[in-house]
Chains A and B, each alone.
Chain A
Amino acid sequence: QVQLQESGPGLVKPSETLSLTCTVSGGSVSSGSFYWSWIRQPPGKGLEWIGYIYYSGYSNYSPSLKSRVTISVDTSKDQFSLRLNSVTAADTALYYCARHKRGNNPFEIWGQGTMVTVSS
């Protein structure tokens, strides 16, 4: 059974870069059948899709975050990563990684999420 696990610093200073990694177990990030996404949820608020990556390295980002986001993949480690630069308090959120089938498909498997707080 495929499982996703987020990891990374829980505290980031304003203007710095947020970096998170999602490790895939029970499956492979190299599967050509899936996209791998990041989604976030500010405390007490709704969900926001950040972007996705394909094993080939092809990526696609939310227009509202595109200028600050980079998602990369490491097939040798079955991991994919998120970098969000120039963070502010508005980037404080629970960050999830998720898997969805290639093409127009919903998010079928989610990690447990990791909380990131932006504060000095």
Chain B
Amino acid sequence: EIVLTQSPGTLSLSPGERATLSCRASQSISSSYLAWYRQRPGQAPRLLIFGASSRATGIPDRFSGSGSGTDFTLTISRLEPEDFAVYYCQQYGNSFSWTFGQGTKVEI
């Protein structure tokens, strides 16, 4: 099973600032099958990024993803109020065991 480790656990920033979130895999993720989700309090996760760097439908361009192999990054260029939430990475390269990271909380 591929273990995903996200850092930092909590990121304290202000609206308008840039956020950089990391996701590291215990083994290489094939074909960059890595996604990012945002989960606001009391809501289901929402897909932001897939294929490591492609934005999902309706996702604004302040969200960008990068990386390959075992190291991946989600960048939010300018934080909006709705971006203060928990972010999860997920690998879907092994269809017998999809896994999530433990999450990074972005707080004001």
> Residues on A close to B: CB < 8 A?
46-49, 60, 62-63, 96, 100, 103-108, 110-113
B31 in the interface (beta carbon within 8 A): yes
Query: Which of B10-18, B19-27, B66-74, B92-100 makes up part of the contact surface?
Result: B92-100
Report chain A residues within 8 Å CB of B44: 96, 110-113
The smallest C-beta distance from A94 to any residue of chain B, in angstroms, reads 9
B8 in the interface (beta carbon within 8 A): no
- Indicate which residue in A47, A103, A111 contacts B95 across the interface (CB closer than 8 Å): A103
The residue of chain B having its C-beta at the shortest distance from the C-beta of A47 within the complex is: B100
Question: Is A106 within 8 A of B90, CB to CB?
Answer: yes
Question: Is B103 within 8 A of A46, CB to CB?
Answer: yes
B102 in the interface (beta carbon within 8 A): yes
A49 to B95, CA, bound (A): 11
Interface of chain A: mostly helix, strand, loop or mixed: loop
The residue of chain A having its C-beta at the shortest distance from the C-beta of B46 within the complex is: A110
A63 to B94, CA, bound (A): 12
- Indicate which residue in B31, B33, B47, B98 contacts A49 across the interface (CB closer than 8 Å): B98
The residue of chain B having its C-beta at the shortest distance from the C-beta of A4 within the complex is: B44
A104 to B94, CA, bound (A): 7
Report chain A residues within 8 Å CB of B45: 47, 96, 107, 110
Q: Would you give 23 A-B contacts (Cβ < 8 Å), ordered by A?
A: A46-B88, A46-B100, A47-B90, A47-B100, A49-B97, A49-B98, A60-B95, A60-B96, A62-B97, A63-B97, A96-B44, A104-B95, A106-B47, A106-B92, A107-B37, A107-B45, A107-B47, A107-B90, A108-B47, A110-B46, A111-B44, A112-B44, A113-B44
Question: Is B88 within 8 A of A108, CB to CB?
Answer: no
